[in-house]
Structure 1
Amino acid sequence: MVNILKKTLKLKDWLKSYRQFDWIVIGCILFLMLPILTLLTMGDQVPFQVQYFSWEGKKVGVKNKTFTLSFNRPVNTNSVEKNLIIEPPLPGRISWQGRTLIYTLDDPPIYGTNYQIKLENVQLSYQDEEIKSFVSLFSTRDRVLAYIGIEGEEKGRLILYNITNLSQPQKTILTPPDLIVTNFKIYPNSEKIIFSAFEPNLRSNELATQELYTVTTGFNVDPSKTPSQRAGKLKSILDAQEYQNINFALSQNGEVIVVQRVNHRNKNDESLWLIKDNNKIISLGIPGSEFVIAPDGKSLAVSQQGGIRMISLGGDGNNSRIFANYEKPLSFSPFSEKLLLVKDNVDYTRSLVVVDKNGENKEVFRSPYPILGCEFEPRDEQVIYCLKTDVIQGENGQYRPEPFLSVINLKEGTDFPLLALPNSENVMLSMSPDGVALLFDQVVTTSPQSSTDLLTTEKQAIADGQVWLLPLPDLKEENKSLKIQPRELIFGFKPQWLP
């Protein structure tokens, strides 16, 4: 009897605990059902809106070719495309991937510009509901150039010059006063610059002691990925203990450096050397004083006796080809598909020739005078700006060379002179990344007097120098005017735009 009573009590306890658990489960179900019932009763209260804009609050540059807009519901794509407004206008092409709009720019955005993107009165694809108004801002990189100073505390030092606001430009000196900078190239993210320089008190044989360094600019394209570094932080890249570093080039993607070097003890030991990301330096085993690297860093064009040698910088570095009777390489197109070369002709003239990736060549023009340099227009590979030489008669009856700038359309075969550059035999050009302006310098030279003299490539001392800004005409306009006026910027030389 006692056993039966004990079993009865245990059963009651079990039923009691079961009822408690059951109530807990029912309570959880009711709690979870409440928002579902509310949503079914009242409908989705989240407004139709832009969920994500990839350029919101960012500074973009020429490498940024597309942005995306993502919506929280399916949209009427025609309505979106009709009501999308960008101010100032930024022409482009629209494509779709589900609820995401992809906008691909036709031209690089203009630097130093604030843009507004706006969407209003857009409808859903399945009901007549307007979008929540969307307005966002993004901007482009500042208009910044680098140059070598020429007077006072700036002499021989590498300097940044921000001209986004031309009425209030900002100047930053990057290198210390005990280094005389001779040349420099800018990395594609604008975060650092590679330059060659020497210490004047160590100068023994002209530029025999110059070394390669990098210096930070203080710019940071994407602070979310890498921390910002202060401007002016130096790092040694290549010393001059065994070899003299004469000249160097940097690929546009920033992955390849080529240096012209000569052995201090054996002047016959002259070669181009290759430096890649790991800073390991190897000799290419070929000489060359004039050379250009393809933007993708995969090939090198070198001027040699009898022609231009094209060298692969990939895994099979021994692959090469020769373009006979060419004088020097000038520049590659932005996508490495074309190369501009200067060719010597039997009639003692020179031709500018464009060579495509298949080796097919086309003569652009022929001149009895030197062709100093050419650059592709970044918005249109069919347009190039060339620095040519003409011969004019001076007031004393003597003939002298005079450089001038012209714009050439490779497709149409047109050639328009833009600007004469008197007394500018050592002029250097730099095309802005957005293609709207050109930098050039004019220097006055004299015979070297001191170890601290700034020198041209012809070893002449620079007594004075001026950097100029040249606004370029919009060649797409039908009623274009090619009458343009340069503007004086600052004292200095070798100006280059930051990408």
Structure 2
Amino acid sequence: MSNSRWSPLNWYKQRAQPLDRIAIALLLSFSFAIVVLLSSGNHSAPKVRDFSWDNQQINARDTAFTVTFSRPMDQLSVQQGLQIEPPLPGKFSWAGRRMAYTLNAPVEYGQNFKLSFTGGKERFNQTTQLQPFNTEFSSRDRMFAFIGAVEDQTERLVLVNMTKKENRILTPSNLQVLDFYPYPDREKIAFAAVDRQAENLSPTEQQIYTVTTGIGKAEAGQVELLLDNKTYQNLRFALSEDGQLIVVQRVNRANTNEFDPWVLRPNKPPEVLKTKQPGGEFVITPDSSAIAIAQGQGLAILPLESGAEPLGFLPKFGTVLSFSRDGSKAAMLKFNNDFTRSLFIVNNQGIETEILKITGSIRDAIFDPTQRFLFCLLTELQEGETFKEQPYLAVIDLETAIKKDPKIALKPLVKLPQQREIQVSLAADGRALLFDQTENDPNLAAKSATSLQNSRLWILPTETLLAGDWKAPISPIELMPGFHPRWLP
């Protein structure tokens, strides 16, 4: 018996053939090389794999973008290396290799932006820097529509692109436009109009149409009838935030007691919402699932499904003036027993806060996109031989009104002529108010030819207010003849 001990090395020396020795040597070499590569890491520079706004056109509802990197990154160095021109203040958040950037305020419309990353480092190898990344994106053009007041624009729908300085008449001359709402994608506008060739030009004879704007694939000016007036008269109407339904107040011509809201959905017949009692002014909720409608001595919340039970009743309030964009707050009007009016903010927990009480009227209230400010159309009661109401625009700082003192939260902005109807519209980015002014002559009938010709559109910049500077004077700028303006989303 041999005294030598067995070992892999002895076996290798005694039994292994030359070819075996070569194969084993190569295997050991490859293993060593793999270990070296793994220990030294990947020497290729990390890069941006995906940017969610890359060469996109964004709107006010696009509140955040995401960036995905090829490898885990050092967060602070990446954040310091982000450049956006013009600047867009915001906040960072991370989930693995994905970075999110949430804007503090909606992006300003009519802007082109450049974004770049420089100098970001890899998390596990601080010597490896991010490959330079440069891209662009833009915001929607600043656009609005209005009803014309002069020459061939008279009582027709006109589209204005302030960014490109272009005007376009959308509706034909035979239709007299009374009201309208742009769709969220901007490709169409829903409008109510009466045919000038009809025997009766009363607003109760209006029909509901859509017209293309030319922003999408379809050419501008293509009109489609959505709802006729043969059996029912069409009264007020509204378009939902998502553009998927229209609600119209209708009354049966043969039975005026049949007075209900109807719902129009794409590619479906109109559907009546039977209510227990007639309703008045209404607002569609931001989630497009219900309406808040004045009924009797309060507000009813009705789901937009036929046969569904009411969601609630608010006996304290007379109407909903507006909802915040996310639906978390509502501006509600209360008629007090002492003939004053109060403006309340009601949140989705049911907490009610009175922010204004006046002897005049509260005609409108609009939340800015950040929900910090409420732009209002108010009137001041003026005593004399007869009581007169002086309309004016104002803004309320909601944070001050709710947490501190409502009396110091109100800032009057612009006094307006005494007129029956005033349309106010806040831009989607919150940076400007549109409003109209009509001839101040009590001897002129409302919307007469003379009063229409003297109607003017005005714009009021609000950027300094949103920035917190309430002392800086702001003045409205006259735009053009016209009335009833609405910003496009």
- Measured against the shorter chain, the TM-score band is 0.7 to 0.9
* Selected match of 2:373 from 370, 373, 383: 383
**Equivalent AA in structure 2 for residue 102 of structure 1:** A
User: Which residue does 1:251 correspond to in 2?
Assistant: 240
Provide closer, same or farther for how the CA distance between residues 309 and 447 of structure 1 changes in structure 2, counting only shifts above 3 A. farther
User: Which residue does 1:184 correspond to in 2?
Assistant: 180
Q: Quick one: percent identity of the two aligned structures?
A: 36
User: Which residue does 1:484 correspond to in 2?
Assistant: 474
Work out the CA distance in 1 between the residues paired with 2:304 and 2:443.
39
1:294-338 CA-to-partner distances (Å, cap 9, x unmatched) read: 111122111223222221225763224322253322111111222
1:196-250 CA-to-partner distances (Å, cap 9, x unmatched) read: 1121111426134321111111224xxxxxxx22222222211111011111011
Deviation at 1:385, TM superposition (A): 0.9
- Number of positions where the alignment pairs a residue of Structure 1 with one of Structure 2: 445
Q: Any conservation in 2 of the 1:430–1:439 contact (CA below 8 Å)? A: yes
User: Which residue does 1:304 correspond to in 2?
Assistant: 295
**Equivalent AA in structure 1 for residue 461 of structure 2:** P
User: Which residue does 1:369 correspond to in 2?
Assistant: 360
Work out the CA distance in 2 between the residues paired with 1:478 and 1:342.
26
User: Which residue does 1:112 correspond to in 2?
Assistant: 110
**TM-score, structure 1 length as denominator?**
0.82
**Equivalent AA in structure 1 for residue 173 of structure 2:** P
Work out the CA distance in 2 between the residues paired with 1:201 and 1:479.
52
Question: Is 1:63 aligned to 2:53, yes or no?
Answer: no
1:48-69 CA-to-partner distances (Å, cap 9, x unmatched) read: 3223222121110012122122
Provide closer, same or farther for how the CA distance between residues 316 and 81 of structure 1 changes in structure 2, counting only shifts above 3 A. farther
| 1:59-458 → structure 2 map (5 Å cutoff) | 59-127=57-125, 128-164=127-163, 169-204=165-200, 206-220=202-216, 228-286=217-275, 287-314=278-305, 317-379=308-370, 381-392=371-382, 400-413=388-401, 414-444=409-439
Q: Any conservation in 2 of the 1:402–1:425 contact (CA below 8 Å)? A: no
**Equivalent AA in structure 2 for residue 299 of structure 1:** A
Provide closer, same or farther for how the CA distance between residues 335 and 316 of structure 1 changes in structure 2, counting only shifts above 3 A. farther
1:120-179 CA-to-partner distances (Å, cap 9, x unmatched) read: 1222233312233222111100000011111111111111101125xxx20111111111
Q: Any conservation in 1 of the 2:56–2:138 contact (CA below 8 Å)? A: yes
**TM-score, structure 2 length as denominator?**
0.84
Q: Any conservation in 1 of the 2:156–2:177 contact (CA below 8 Å)? A: yes
User: Which residue does 2:461 correspond to in 1?
Assistant: 471
Provide closer, same or farther for how the CA distance between residues 238 and 477 of structure 1 changes in structure 2, counting only shifts above 3 A. closer
**Equivalent AA in structure 2 for residue 98 of structure 1:** G
Deviation at 1:47, TM superposition (A): 4.4
Q: Secondary structure at the match of 2:76?
A: helix
Provide closer, same or farther for how the CA distance between residues 467 and 105 of structure 1 changes in structure 2, counting only shifts above 3 A. same
Work out the CA distance in 1 between the residues paired with 2:386 and 2:206.
39
Moved over 6 A (4+): 445-449
Q: Secondary structure at the match of 1:260?
A: strand
Work out the CA distance in 2 between the residues paired with 1:280 and 1:66.
38
Provide closer, same or farther for how the CA distance between residues 151 and 107 of structure 1 changes in structure 2, counting only shifts above 3 A. same
Work out the CA distance in 2 between the residues paired with 1:205 and 1:219.
31
Q: Any conservation in 2 of the 1:446–1:462 contact (CA below 8 Å)? A: no
User: Which residue does 2:6 correspond to in 1?
Assistant: none
Q: Secondary structure at the match of 1:95?
A: strand
Deviation at 1:46, TM superposition (A): 5.4
Q: Any conservation in 1 of the 2:145–2:485 contact (CA below 8 Å)? A: yes
Gaps of 5+ in 2: 1-29, 402-408
Moved more, 343-352 or 422-431: 422-431
Q: Any conservation in 2 of the 1:182–1:455 contact (CA below 8 Å)? A: no
Work out the CA distance in 1 between the residues paired with 2:259 and 2:342.
29
Deviation at 1:468, TM superposition (A): 0.6
Work out the CA distance in 1 between the residues paired with 2:472 and 2:312.
39
Moved more, 428-437 or 361-370: 361-370
Q: Secondary structure at the match of 1:172?
A: strand
Q: Any conservation in 2 of the 1:68–1:102 contact (CA below 8 Å)? A: yes
**Equivalent AA in structure 2 for residue 158 of structure 1:** L
Provide closer, same or farther for how the CA distance between residues 345 and 279 of structure 1 changes in structure 2, counting only shifts above 3 A. same
Q: Any conservation in 1 of the 2:273–2:305 contact (CA below 8 Å)? A: no
Q: Any conservation in 2 of the 1:182–1:454 contact (CA below 8 Å)? A: no
Work out the CA distance in 2 between the residues paired with 1:477 and 1:376.
16
**Equivalent AA in structure 2 for residue 306 of structure 1:** Q
Q: Secondary structure at the match of 2:205?
A: coil
**Equivalent AA in structure 1 for residue 339 of structure 2:** Y
Work out the CA distance in 2 between the residues paired with 1:484 and 1:401.
23
Work out the CA distance in 2 between the residues paired with 1:302 and 1:422.
30
**Equivalent AA in structure 2 for residue 259 of structure 1:** V
Work out the CA distance in 1 between the residues paired with 2:437 and 2:240.
26
Q: Any conservation in 2 of the 1:418–1:482 contact (CA below 8 Å)? A: no
Moved more, 141-150 or 198-207: 198-207
Moved more, 249-258 or 276-285: 276-285
Q: Secondary structure at the match of 2:152?
A: helix
1:401-432 CA-to-partner distances (Å, cap 9, x unmatched) read: 21011111223111111111123441111010
Q: Secondary structure at the match of 2:454?
A: strand
Q: Any conservation in 2 of the 1:237–1:279 contact (CA below 8 Å)? A: no
Provide closer, same or farther for how the CA distance between residues 213 and 306 of structure 1 changes in structure 2, counting only shifts above 3 A. same
Provide closer, same or farther for how the CA distance between residues 281 and 358 of structure 1 changes in structure 2, counting only shifts above 3 A. farther
**Equivalent AA in structure 2 for residue 357 of structure 1:** N
**Equivalent AA in structure 1 for residue 134 of structure 2:** V
Q: Any conservation in 2 of the 1:326–1:344 contact (CA below 8 Å)? A: yes
